[in-house]
Structure 1
């Protein structure tokens, strides 16, 4: 079969072009360090690499979210740490105020110190994250959650929403706690709180409430102890009230009711009443508690006699129990923050481990073996050079060379 000169040149040119293209492809893969440059080079490998790349990108986003969540929780932790210090200081000042030897002026000074701590506490409750978002406001984070009202009352204007952040494939984590949960709540395990009524005129001073039988029928209810004609009556706060106990009053003798017992010293006057309520029903607002404590300390005792002293002691006892409950509640929230921070650390470790495995697999799928690629490069280069030399030789053959 005869091959025309044009066909000869076309075929050889095409063959050399194909070899040059293959050589250039090897050069590109060597430069890029990858086994394939397009999905057409290795469809299966390209699909696997794309999937792993997406997984790594998602993991990177989760890591960024965890970093932001950790920053938010650290800010909250700092605010709660400062809150516990303030509450401990208020408790210490409350105990100091119970010293019967100090004067009205001394108590007024203590009231000023506690008022300063209250102002600092409101400031901590209105802590922001540095970007204008308030930590304890729930979803209403654009405005301060606690607002001072007339008469020293502090109102919560936030909500109880939880701001969640996606920190892993199947994990959303709360990065904040609302102010009502932190500053206006008590733990379920908090005990009873006793308080003397504002109109009491006797010298009765209550002691701590003790639990003697948590299985008693009326245990867990709220009670009121009233005095008349030397006798006491304990009634539940049900509608209508139920008498839980009654009898002659003896100073210092335990009064038992609803699985509880309490001792009252001094001599209550007729009509005096004491409220014995569960912590959640006794008033859980720490700002209101501290405000009432300041008012009690600023009330002079001079001229009031034993009745005024008894009223002050009862107010201090009530405040001490409520501040202790608030302190315990903040510690519980702080413990929750620490648990979430520990979880983020664990997720970071797990995420880093997964990333390492994914990157190793991705490397196996797409990373080029330099030794084999260089060997292929020289092989194709030699083949191209041989083809070029052969073509040059064949192209130069002519009968005129032999005449």
Structure 2
């Protein structure tokens, strides 16, 4: 068979190119340390690896979200812990201020100390993270949530938005607690109503008996919503019978035509879908009013405590002064419990985040192991194949070198 020089060169070139490609391919496996680089290496394994890589990418995303959520909730937990400590101090100051040995000057000094505590609470409510974002503003992180007005009251300028981050395929966790829920909506210690007592001892209906509303709750919302408020409690100056009138002046307790009966201390009074329990016995002519208010701002609670202290030593209307003290102290205890529950909420979220992070680490290890079993290279086998490919390439190059120099003139 006759072989042309051009054909010989073409075949030799193709053969050496193929052997070179084999060597380069083996080198790529050795360099990467992977057995499967493309789908042609192992189509089934390549598809499985793609799934593993997606799972690992998702886990990495979830871990970043967990880190971010931990940072936000940790900041809020610390803020609530500090707020709880401040409220405990204010309660101690109130107990100290109720000591009969205190002078008016002493009470003013305690009031000043309590006002400093109020300023600290205000600063905590306006806490910012490392990026300068307000942590209690809801979605409006660039808006300072709380501001003090000229009259000393505090208003909330954030919103009620709760941000969430996905920390697993079907799990999202809140990263913030809004300022209105945390600081402006503390449960009223006596229930759903606030009480307006006579302003001073000289009023005709002054509270000289020390009677107080122990609890007042709406038990039938439908009946209450159709009633007219506010409701006023009055003790008849002659008969000492207790009556309750609504905002229109109609008597709602006792229900007519039943004759009024003498009030018994501790008795629960029911009217217009409301249950009210009083402590103590009102004296003839005394009167007070209840208005719906289920939630109270912590700033108002502390401001009430400061106002009570700033009155100094009271020589008149002492019974009402003590009623106000008891009411403020109860509300301070409720506010302290509120801060504790908020701190617990943040702590529970941190526990969930820690637990989920641990699960991700376990999953990541399992997936990485499965991925390695499929794609990791058997170096001993790969090196053997590489050496074989390299020898084949060298043999091909040597054969070409020897044959391409042969001509018929060598034999003449």
TM-score, normalised to structure 1, is 0.84
- Does 2:304 correspond to 1:296? no
Partner of 2:278: 262
Deviations 1:282-338 (A, max 9, x none): 551121122122122212445x43x2x112111111111211222222211211111
Q: Which residue in the other structure is 1:363 paired with?
A: 372
Residue 260 to residue 5, structure 1, CA distance change in 2 (3 Å): same
Match of 2:101 in 1: 101
Shift of 1:274: 5.7
CA distance in 2, matches of 1:157, 1:144: 7
Post-superposition shift, 1:159? 1.2
CA distance in 2, matches of 1:244, 1:115: 44
Q: Secondary structure at the match of 1:356?
A: helix
Q: Distance in 1 between matches of 2:13 and 2:294?
A: 97
- Determine if contact 1:185/1:329 at 8 Å carries over to the other structure: no
Of 249, 252, 255, the match for 1:242: 252
Is the 8 Å Cα contact of residues 192 and 209 (structure 1) preserved in structure 2?
Answer: no
Q: Tell me if the contact between 1:201 and 1:269 (Cα under 8 Å) persists in the aligned partners.
A: no
| Partner SS state of residue 226, structure 1 | strand
* 1:33 corresponds to 2:72: no
The change in CA–CA distance for 1:374 and 1:187 in structure 2 (over 3 A counts) is farther
Contact 1:203 1:269 in 2 (8 A): no
For the 8 Å contact 2:135–2:176, the answer to whether it is kept is: yes
After superposition, the CA RMSD in angstroms is: 3.3
2-structure distance, mates of 1:398, 1:71: 82
Q: Secondary structure at the match of 2:7?
A: helix
Structure 2 Cα separation of the partners of residues 188 and 354 of structure 1 = 47
Q: C-alpha separation between the residues in 2 aligned to 1:181 and 1:382?
A: 77
> Any idea what SS the aligned residue of 1:62 has?
helix
Matched positions, count: 391
Does the 8 A contact of 1:293 with 1:315 survive in 2?
A: no
Q: CA, structure 1 residues 357+243, in 2 after alignment: closer, same or farther (shift >3 Å)?
A: same
Q: Pick which of 149-158 and 222-231 moved more.
A: 222-231
In the alignment, which of 190, 197, 209 is matched to residue 204 of structure 1?
209
Pairing of 1:316-335 with structure 2 (within 5 A): 316-335=325-344
Q: Confirm or deny: 8 A CA contact 1:196 1:315 kept in the other structure.
A: no
In the alignment, structure 1 segments of 5+ residues that lack a partner are: none
Unaligned runs of 5+ in 2: 200-204
Aligned equivalent of 1:81: 81
Quote how far apart the aligned CAs of 1:174 are.
Answer: 1.0
3-state SS of 1:358 partner = helix
Cα separation, 2, equivalents of 1:359 and 1:9: 49
How much does 1:149 deviate?
Answer: 0.7
Contact 1:236 1:244 in 2 (8 A): no
- In the superposition, relative to structure 1, how do residues 130 and 228 fare at CA in structure 2: closer, same or farther (>3 Å)? farther
Q: TM-score, normalised by structure 2?
A: 0.83
CA distance in 2, matches of 1:24, 1:361: 27
The answer as to 2:236 corresponding to 1:228 is yes
**Residue pair 1:127, 1:135 contacting (<8 A) in 2 also:** yes
Deviation (angstroms), 1:79: 0.5
Equivalent residues of 1:225, 1:234 under 8 A apart: yes
Deviation per residue, 1:343-398 (Å, 9 max, x gap): 11111011111211222222233222111101111222233334444455555666
Distance in structure 2 (CA, Å) of the matches to 1:340 and 1:11: 71
Cα distance in 1 between the residues matched to 2:303 and 2:40? 75
1:232 and 1:249 in contact (8 A); partners too: yes
- Partners of 2:302 and 2:308 in 1: how far apart? 10
Shift of 1:340: 0.7
